Every structure is written in C-alpha cells, then in structure tokens.
Structure 1
Amino acid sequence: MKIFVPNFDREGPGVDKNEPVKEGISLFLYILCTKFWDIIKLNMLFILYSIPIITIGPAFGAMTSITMSMVQNKHIFIFSDFHEAFKVNWKQSLISGVISIIFFILLSTSILFYFKLSQNNPKFYIILFTCIFIMILFSFAWLYVYPLLTTVSLSLKDIFKNSLLLSIVCFKNTLIGAVTYGIILGLNVFFFPLTFPLFLFLTFSLLSFISSFTTWAGIKKFIIIDKQHVN
C-alpha cells in the first residue's frame, strides 16, 4: 500500500478562481514549498558540477537559470535544463565569477589594510569607509549579476552596469534579498561544520533561489518589459 504516493487521478477541490494572487512572502514560501525537493536536487547538482573548482562560476550560472525559471513558474527538468544552461552560459558565467572573486578579494584586502592604518592615523578612516561603501554597493549589485546573465542576452559590461542600476532603483527588494542572503550564509559559515549537511543539500540552491526571487521583479519591469517596448 503506497501511503505516501499522491493520487493524481483522485478528484480534488482544484484551484479556487476567487483565491487572491500570491505575492511577496506568501509567494516565496509557496514556491519554496512546492519546489523544495527540486531545490535539494539542484544543490547537489551544483556541487557535482563545481568539483573541478574552475567550473564553479558556470555551475552557479546554471543553478541560477533553474531558480529563475522557478520564480517565473516555468516548467523545468532539473537535470537536462541544468546541463543545457551550463553549456550555454559557461563563458559569461566563468568570466563573471572571476571578476567577482577578484573584486571581493581586492576590496576585503583594502578594508583590512586601511583599518589597520586608521588605528594610527584617523585620516585613513575616509578611505576605509569608502572601501566599505563600495563593498556594500558591489554586494548589492552582485545579487543581480547571475539572474541577469541567465535571463537576458547582454554583454558583460551591460550586465554589471544594469546590475548596479537595478540594485539602486529596486533598493527595497535589494536590501531584503541582501540581508536574507547574508544572514543565511553567515549562519551557515559560523556554525560550520555543523552546517556541513546543509551545504551539501540546501544552502547554495536556497541562496540562489532567494537571489532570483528578490531580483526578478526589477529585471522584469526595467529590463525585459522596457526591452519589449523598444523593440
């Protein structure tokens, strides 16, 4: 007796036509719950494709492509769609990943360097706070990089430029996404190795889903719709 197997042939109440359209946190939780097992499979696929290390960028791009499809309510085949997105976006995803890593390393090093100098000379606080501001701004913009890269056809220059502009124009969504992203990532890192199973099965794809969900509205409104009007 298959107790836990749903019966799709059984009659049910269906979808209430008068049911209000889900949005915001209710929509987020609805998609998260309905796609939860796909998100777990997606996380494992991301880790598998990232094993050569150099493929982390393309794997992240492929994962973002899937989570962007989830938030757009598109029908997806996790394995085949992931592999296809990996092949299609590998070049831009790789270059974007390298640029992002270099930028984060340079900014982190600069912040530590000027923090030490500022202890002896307060004048360096100006440079320190400037570096911190740039780091925060770049972190906000980075939320949009891979969602843009996998959704619309743009040059890398335009991807980073539009990511920065969208992070400012859609500041409310950007802030919510960045804070949620930072809290989840921070907790996972802080409690490591206790969170090791989460890294294996959930963390990366969940973060990608959060990024996709919070950035999609801005991308749809200011990039896709505007582009359609131009055409």
Structure 2
Amino acid sequence: MFRSLFDPNSAFSRGMERVWTLVVLNVLWVLCSLPVVTIGPSTAALYQVLGKVIQGEDSHTARKFFAAWRENFKCALLVWLPMLAVLVLCGFDLYFAVLNDRFLWKLLAVFALQLAAVELTFVFPLMARYQNTWRSHMKNAMLVGVGNLPRMLLIWLIWAVPVGACLVFPWLRLYLSLVWLLIGYSSLSYVTALLLRPVFRRLEQPKDDPKKDGTDAS
C-alpha cells in the first residue's frame, strides 16, 4: 500500500507535486512583487505558468516563471501602474469621504474600486493567454467581466473568504499570513484560472478564426 502511495505515477505523488509547484510559484510571486510596481508582471507570469500547470506541466517551474515574467514585463507594467494609481487615489478618496461623512464621495470611490476589481480579475489572465496591446487587454477585461458577471462574483467570493476570516477571527491572522506567504496567492489564483477556463473556451470558439491570435475578446 505504502509503495503504491509513493509511486511517482500515483495520485498522491502527483498531488504533492502540484502542491510543491504552487508553493514555488507563490514564493516567486511574493519575491518578485516586493517592489510593488512589479506586481503586474509577476501576476501575469503567475497566470501564464498556472495555465501550463493545469495542462499537467509541473516541471521547471522557476524557469517558466522568469521567462513569462520577462515576456510580459512591459505590457503588464503599462497595465499595472495606472491601476495602482487608481487604487491609491480611490483609497484616499474613500478614507477622506468616511472621515467627512460624504456619501457621494464614498459611492463614487466604491464604484471606481469595483471597476478596478473587474479589470484586475481578468486582465492578467487574459494577458497570460493572449498576445495583445495593453489597451486591448484592459478593454477586453472589462467586456469579459461584464459578460461573465456570475462567474466573476464567484471568484470575488472565493478571494474574500480569507479576508472575511481575518476580520471575524482575528486570531487567524498570523496563521493565514503564513499560509499566504507560502501558498495562499498561488492557490487562489489556481482556482481562478480553473474557473476562467470555460470563459476562455467560449471566447475561442471561432466565428471566423479558431486561432488564439490575440484579437479582441469582444
């Protein structure tokens, strides 16, 4: 029994290999995202490698990550820097709106943050899968989000669970922080990538051209 359990082709061994791959990806993502301005390229690289992992390619994880990081660097940076500016500006607006009890400001800030969340949910998975300009990626991310609202809300709910757990159970924060550093972001991104596969398959059902040539998702 134990011999079959640790057989390289057993489900247990493949599962542990997948977990180790996610740990490696998470650590690489955290390290490469430390400057903050590089979160975009790191996230695009993460989703690109996760696409290969889902297809069963678990080897040479670090090499694939850094290759994808370099490949997506310019485009992801052009997307991420404006998004970062929007997030910071909206965060300050929401903070001062709450301090001054300005309902309209709070409403506008929350609405802008929701639009940013739609972009961030889809833009890097799209970038990891398709060749396109950064403007087209941002436009397509919004179109795909609006066109797949229930799935997007499901993804948001999955990501919100750890945050909610920290708010409801403060004693979990330390443990969840350790999990986040080791495997949290990559595992949630892995689930997100799985949930987005049917979306991409529908986009790739050709009306004219079956190739994934980076044309607009619209």
How far apart in 1 are the matches of 2:202 and 2:77? Answer: 27
Q: Which residue of structure 2 lines up, in the alignment, with residue 175 of structure 1?
A: 153
Moved more, 183-192 or 85-94: 183-192
Partner of 1:213: 194
**Over residues 69-91 of structure 1, what are the superposed CA-to-partner deviations in whole Å (9 max), with x where a residue is unaligned?**
334x2524312211211111111
Corresponding residue number in structure 2 for 1:201: 182
Rounded Cα–Cα distance in structure 2 between residues aligned with 1:141 and 1:81: 25
Name the SS of the counterpart of 2:174 in structure 1.
coil
Name the count of aligned residue pairs.
Answer: 204
Q: Does the CA-based 8 Å contact 1:140-1:175 persist in structure 2? A: no
Q: Offset at 1:209? A: 1.4
Residue number in structure 1 paired with 2:49: 66
Report if the CA contact (8 A) 1:143-1:215 is conserved: no
- Indicate the SS of the match to 1:137: helix
Change (3 A) 1:34 1:185: farther
Q: Determine which of 138, 146, 171 is the counterpart of 2:124.
A: 146
Percent same amino acid at aligned positions?
A: 17
Q: Secondary structure in 2 aligned to 1:217?
A: helix
**Residue type at the aligned position of 2:146:** I
Q: Could you tell me whether the CA contact under 8 Å between 1:181 and 1:211 is conserved in 2?
A: no
Aligned partner (choices 57, 63, 67) of residue 75 of structure 1: 57
C-alpha contact 2:122 2:144 (8 A) present in aligned 1 = yes
| Structure with greater Cα Rg | 1
SS class of match (2:189): helix
CA contact (8 A) 2:48 2:68 kept: yes
Separation in structure 1 between the aligned mates of residue 89 and residue 208 of structure 2, nearest angstrom: 38
Q: TM-score by structure 1 length?
A: 0.74
What SS does structure 1 have at the residue aligned with 2:6? coil
**160-169 or 92-101, larger mean C-alpha shift:** 92-101
Structure 2 residue ranges without an equivalent (≥5): 212-218
Q: Which runs of 5+ in 1 are unaligned?
A: 15-30
Deviation at 1:96, TM superposition (A): 2.2
Distance 1:211 1:114 in 2: 32
Change (3 A) 1:64 1:186: farther
Aligned to 1:88: 71
Structure 1 Cα separation of the partners of residues 140 and 151 of structure 2: 15
For 1:99 and 1:130, the matched residues in 2 are separated by 18
Taking the aligned partners of 1:188 and 1:157, their CA distance within structure 2 comes to 36
1-side partners of 2:199 and 2:178: how far apart? 33
Asked if 2 retains the 8 angstrom alpha-carbon contact of 1:59 and 1:86, the reply is: yes
Maintained 8 Å contact 2:18/2:58: no
